[in-house]
């Protein structure tokens, strides 16, 4: 809805603004905690969540630029018909018009939205500066975990977006209830993906994959990306693909000195490749942007492929440097 409003105000093609937005969101989906998939596979690989966040931001910036604005220019010239379509947001329900004085300020909105990421990044930096086995380090690492950071961010949002704007507790409570119902399916997907991963681990699939690739000179980062990419193409869900890959690729880390944080990012990059008809996101993009099947493949599927390959390249480059 934000992109739709901006495109309407500036009289620009809906897809022209939608492509960079979609690229940035997909990068976040694959690379950056506290998003569920990167957070969950960080635990599976035993990676430090703060390192994943910091490395992820470094890799996310060039990946988003290439898969967003640069790809946008290419797609607009190559597939001009898709950029002439009008968006369809009827599926989001009725829209409410706000007066400017009814809305929160830009600065407080940005701080509230980014607070979990800022909080986790700051906790990581302070944790690196403090000495080992100190009480202060333990406290900072505790409050910098995704669960604690999100809880503190939620309390901040309840104040800045609710109480400070004179919104009643009944309305705030109703908003929270609606939000919980919207994430219920995501919780089921994560739980199902985690159970599937554990079945593969207990069945010996992870050890088999590790033995299969142990005789090769392939980088564990590339192997993790490949497994995640294949599972993504077959299963559709990026979250399930990432969680399953973590169970299969974790034994590969024992043979080498690969950074667990980079394994998380390589897995995340592979899990977002080539979004197509077996993923709900494909159909959401198609309907919201008013595209045909062919145009959705030309834009969205190609975008996610460029994003995934670019992310892999950045991760491999980081692996050479670190």
CA distance 100 to 211: 61
The candidate with the shortest Cα–Cα distance to 279, out of 225, 219, 246, 231, is: 231
| Predicted model pTM | 0.75
User: pLDDT tens digits for 42-90?
Assistant: 888 888 888 898 899 999 999 999 999 999 999 999 998 888 877 666 6
Distance CA 232, CA 222 (A): 15
Token pair belonging to 37? 């998939």
Structure tokens at 239: 């979250």
Domain hosting residue 208, numbered range: 2-93+183-321
Distance CA 132, CA 203 (A): 38
User: Nearest to residue 309, comparing CAs of 211, 212, 197, 232?
Assistant: 232
Q: Would residue 130 count as lying in a domain?
A: no
247 assigned to some structural domain = yes
Q: Over the stretch 99-126, which tens digit does the pLDDT of each residue have? A: 777 788 888 888 888 888 888 778 777 7
Reply yes or no on whether the pLDDT at 194 is more than 70: no
| 17 within domain boundaries | yes
81, part of any domain: yes
Domain membership flag for residue 194: yes
Domain-embedded: residue 8: yes
Chain-wide mean pLDDT for the chain? 83
Number of folded domains that form the chain: 1
Q: What is the pLDDT of residue 272?
A: 93
CA distances from 152 to 29, 66, 137, 147 (A): 21, 34, 18, 9
**Which strand (E) or helix (H) includes residue 91?**
none
143 lies in some domain: no
The answer to whether 237 and 275 have CB atoms below 8 angstroms apart is no
Q: For residue 275, is it within any domain?
A: yes
């Amino acid at each position: 809805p934000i992109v739709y409003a901006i495109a309407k105000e500036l009289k620009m093609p809906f897809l022209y603004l939608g492509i960079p937005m979609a690229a940035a969101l997909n990068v976040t989906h694959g690379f950056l905690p506290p998003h569920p998939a990167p957070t969950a596979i960080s635990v599976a690989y035993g990676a430090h969540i703060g390192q994943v966040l910091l490395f992820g931001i470094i890799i996310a910036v060039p990946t988003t630029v290439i898969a967003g604005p640069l790809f946008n220019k290419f797609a607009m010239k190559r597939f001009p018909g898709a950029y002439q379509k009008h968006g369809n947001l009827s599926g989001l329900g009725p829209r409410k018009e706000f007066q400017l004085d009814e809305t929160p300020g830009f600065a407080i909105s940005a701080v509230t939205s980014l607070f979990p990421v800022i909080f986790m990044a700051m906790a990581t930096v302070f944790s690196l500066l403090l000495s080992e086995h100190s009480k202060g380090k333990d406290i900072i690492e505790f409050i910098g975990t995704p669960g604690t950071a999100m809880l503190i961010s939620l309390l901040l949002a309840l104040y800045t977006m609710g109480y400070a704007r004179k919104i009643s507790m009944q309305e705030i409570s109703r908003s929270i209830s609606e939000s919980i119902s919207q994430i219920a399916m995501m919780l089921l997907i994560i739980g199902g993906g985690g159970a599937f991963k554990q079945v593969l681990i207990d069945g010996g699939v992870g050890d088999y994959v590790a033995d299969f690739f142990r005789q090769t000179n392939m980088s564990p980062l590339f192997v993790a990306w490949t497994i995640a990419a294949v599972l993504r193409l077959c299963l559709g869900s990026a979250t399930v693909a990432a969680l399953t890959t973590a169970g299969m690729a974790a034994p590969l880390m024992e043979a080498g000195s690969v950074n667990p944080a980079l394994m998380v990012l390589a897995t995340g990059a592979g899990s977002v490749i080539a979004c197509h008809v077996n993923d709900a996101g494909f159909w959401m993009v198609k309907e919201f942007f008013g595209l045909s099947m062919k145009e959705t493949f030309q834009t969205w599927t190609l975008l996610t492929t460029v994003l995934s390959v670019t992310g892999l390249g950045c991760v491999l480059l980081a692996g050479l440097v670190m």
